[in-house]
């Protein structure tokens, strides 16, 4: 199942390259066999038939590949994927790590959060349209104390974006803007440790509004994606869906900020047990291993 999931989320470039390379290899083997069989006579029926079969094989592989790409285009479970941001090591101020880094993970209060946005480029004109969070305390998800707000982005929400999270212009028309919502979220977080899946992506959006709101999120941050890379090193797929399936977490409300926050929180609690079994029990240890995993992942990121 993990291998199938890895293929489903593989980049189009790599998927196409692998498919055509496989077809070319199969074709070369077939043609080489036909060449030997015909004694080097390219007019021999066997050689001609092999060439035809090779062309047919390429056509079949291309047809199947096209079906997969069309499925991905219309399947919001896998497209578009959020880009991984390789800035985790910059998220945790050294002074904070020194102050509370020795705290035992299961004794720490966390706020696991997620954002939904108009797009994938915080450095451009994309905006937050929903933000939610849930607390984890004593190794337990406190679902009774959630934070969840829609946000008026000050711009139109594209149909492509709505296809992912289901949020429309009408749904946010009467909602407050980020200048009002972000201070409320900041108060909810307090001095808790922030947790998110692909955390640097969401943190980049929070940082986008620093000048507008005069708010800085200088909390310590953990990333479930990087923790999974360390704790589940044998797995190739560290998407939220794949992690939830492996860890027995049911995702309700996928691609909603609150639904993803709760699912990520439940995954995080299970990761704490895996981390403990590998000797990672303190906040400082979790941050250090995350930084190392980010460095390794960046080195091997997709070309």
Maximal CA-CA distance, the chain: 80
Q: Is 219 helix (H, G, I), strand (E, B) or coil?
A: coil
Q: How far is CA 109 from the centre of its chain?
A: 24
255 catalytic residue (yes or no): yes
Closest CA to 269 of 91, 160, 82, 140: 140
Owner of token pair 């890379």: 229
Query: Choosing from 152, 197, 238, 255, which is the catalytic residue?
Result: 255
Find the helix or strand (DSSP H, E) in which 51 lies: helix 45-73
* CA–CA separation, 48 and 204 (whole Å): 58
Is the distance from CB of 165 to CB of 116 less than 8 angstroms?
yes
Pairing of strands 140-150, 128-137: antiparallel
Catalytic residues: 255
């Amino acid at each position: 199942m993990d291998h199938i999931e890895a293929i489903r989320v593989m980049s189009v470039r790599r998927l196409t390259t692998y498919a055509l390379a496989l077809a070319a290899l199969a074709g070369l083997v077939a043609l080489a066999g036909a060449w030997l069989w015909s004694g080097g006579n390219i007019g021999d029926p066997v050689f001609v038939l092999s060439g035809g079969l090779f062309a047919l094989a390429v056509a079949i592989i291309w047809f199947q590949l096209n079906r997969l790409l069309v499925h991905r285009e219309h399947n919001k479970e896998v497209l578009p994927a959020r880009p991984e941001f390789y800035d985790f090591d910059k998220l945790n101020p050294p002074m904070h790590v020194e102050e509370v880094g020795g705290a035992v993970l299961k004794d720490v209060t966390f706020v696991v959060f997620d954002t939904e946005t108009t797009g994938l480029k915080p450095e451009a004109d994309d905006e937050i349209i929903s933000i939610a969070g849930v607390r984890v305390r004593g190794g337990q998800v406190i679902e009774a104390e959630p934070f969840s707000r829609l946000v008026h982005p000050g711009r139109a929400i594209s149909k492509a974006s709505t296809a992912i999270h289901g949020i429309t212009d009408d749904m946010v028309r009467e909602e407050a803007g980020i200048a009002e919502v972000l201070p409320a979220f900041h108060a909810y977080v307090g001095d808790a440790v922030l947790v998110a899946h692909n955390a640097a992506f969401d943190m980049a959006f929070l940082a986008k509004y620093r000048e507008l709101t005069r708010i800085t999120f200088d909390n310590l941050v953990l990333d479930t994606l990087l923790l999974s890379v360390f704790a589940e090193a044998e797995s190739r797929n560290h998407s939220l869906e794949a992690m939830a399936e492996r860890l027995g977490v049911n995702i309700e409300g996928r691609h909603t900020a609150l639904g993803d926050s709760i699912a990520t929180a439940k995954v995080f609690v299970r990761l704490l047990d895996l981390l403990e079994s590998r000797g990672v029990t303190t906040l400082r240890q979790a941050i250090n291993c995350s930084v190392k995993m980010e460095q390794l992942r960046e080195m091997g990121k997709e070309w």
